[in-house]
Structure 1
Amino acid sequence: MNGSTNANDGKAVNGAPEHSTVLVVGGAVVGCFTALKLGQAGIDVTIIERQPTTSDSPRAVGYYGAAQLFMDEVGVYKFVRDEGFMTRGLCWRKRPTDDGKGGKQLGDVIARQHLCAPDETVFEVSAGQLNLPQADLNKIVLRQALKTGHVKLHFNTELVSILHNEGKDVTVLVRDINTNVERKLTATYLVGADGARSQTRKALGIAFAGHTWPERLIATNALKYNEIQVDLPTWYTMDRVHYTITTPLEEPVLGKKTLWRYTIAADPADTRPDEELISDENIFKHYENVMSGPRPLQVQIEARSTYRIHQRLASTLRKGNCLLAGDAAHVNNPYGALGLNTGILDADALAEALIMILKEQYPPSLLDIYSDERRKVFQFFVDPTSTQNKLRVHSNHEDEAVQNDWFFRLLQNPTYQELKEMAKPYFETWRTNIRKLAEVIQLGSPIHQ
Structure 2
Amino acid sequence: MTATESHGATTAANGAHPPKSVVIVGAGPVGMFLALKLGKASIDVTVVEKDANFSDAPRACGYYAASALAMHAAGVWDQIRNEGFVIKGLCWRKKPVDNGEGKGGKKLGSMIAAQPLAELDDDVMPPGTGILCLQQPLLTRLFAREALATKHVKLLFGRELTAIEEGESSTTAVTRDTATGEVRRITADFLVGTDGGRSTTRKLLRIPFPGHTWPERLLATNVTVHNTEDPLYHCYYLLDPSNFTVITPLTDPVLGQESLWRYTMAIDPSDPRPDEELLRDENIGKLYEQVMPGARPLQYTIGARSVYRIHQRLASTFRRGRSLLAGDAAHLCNPFGALGLNTGILDAEALTDALIMVLHEGRSLAVLDTYSDERRKVFQFFVDPTSTQNKLRVQNNHQDDAATNDWYFRLLQNPTADVLRAQAQPYFDVWRTDLRKAAENVV
Q: TM-score, normalised by structure 1?
A: 0.94
Q: 1:202-232 deviations in whole A, cap 9, x for unaligned?
A: 0000000000000100000000000111110
- Structure 2 gaps of 5+ residues are 12-19
CA contact (8 A) 1:18 1:184 kept: no
**Aligned-CA RMSD value:** 1.5
CA contact (8 A) 2:210 2:314 kept: yes
CA contact (8 A) 2:224 2:302 kept: yes
Question: Which piece of structure 1 moves more, 114-123 or 295-304?
Answer: 114-123
Aligned partner of 1:233 in structure 2 is 234
Aligned partner of 1:60 in structure 2 is 60
CA contact (8 A) 1:27 1:49 kept: yes
How far did residue 245 of structure 1 move? 0.5
Distance 1:364 1:172 in 2: 19
Does residue 12 in structure 1 map to residue 12 in structure 2? no
Q: 1:232 to 1:145 in 2, by over 3 A?
A: same
How far did residue 277 of structure 1 move? 0.5
Classify the secondary structure of the residue corresponding to 1:184: strand
Distance 1:11 1:229 in 2: 58
- Structure 1 gaps of 5+ residues are 1-9, 445-449
Aligned partner of 2:118 in structure 1 is 116
Aligned partner of 2:148 in structure 1 is 146
Distance 2:423 2:63 in 1: 17
Classify the secondary structure of the residue corresponding to 2:35: helix
Please give the residue correspondences for 1:47-196 in structure 2 after superposition, counting only pairs within 5 Å: 47-101=47-101, 102-162=104-164, 164-196=165-197
CA contact (8 A) 2:315 2:331 kept: yes
How far did residue 18 of structure 1 move? 8.8
Q: 1:12-55 deviations in whole A, cap 9, x for unaligned?
A: 369x9898710000011100111111110110010000111111
How far did residue 117 of structure 1 move? 1.6
Aligned partner of 1:243 in structure 2 is 244
Distance 1:13 1:358 in 2: 20
CA contact (8 A) 1:36 1:142 kept: yes
Q: TM-score, normalised by structure 2?
A: 0.95
Distance 1:147 1:201 in 2: 29
Partner amino acid for 1:399? D
How far did residue 142 of structure 1 move? 0.4
Aligned partner of 2:293 in structure 1 is 292
Superposed structure 1 runs of 4+ greater than 3 Å apart: 10-14, 16-20
Aligned partner of 2:29 in structure 1 is 29
Aligned length: 431
Please give the residue correspondences for 1:245-260 in structure 2 after superposition, counting only pairs within 5 Å: 245-260=246-261
CA contact (8 A) 1:228 1:254 kept: yes
CA contact (8 A) 1:97 1:107 kept: yes
Partner amino acid for 1:425? P
Classify the secondary structure of the residue corresponding to 1:12: strand
Classify the secondary structure of the residue corresponding to 2:210: strand
Q: 1:152-197 deviations in whole A, cap 9, x for unaligned?
A: 01000010111x2242111221111111111222111000000000
Aligned partner of 1:447 in structure 2 is none
Distance 1:33 1:255 in 2: 36
Distance 1:256 1:79 in 2: 25
CA contact (8 A) 2:36 2:143 kept: yes
Aligned partner of 1:369 in structure 2 is 370
Q: 1:83 to 1:13 in 2, by over 3 A?
A: closer
How far did residue 400 of structure 1 move? 1.3
How far did residue 308 of structure 1 move? 0.2
Distance 1:120 1:209 in 2: 43
CA contact (8 A) 2:313 2:333 kept: yes
Q: 1:13 to 1:188 in 2, by over 3 A?
A: closer
CA contact (8 A) 1:24 1:48 kept: yes
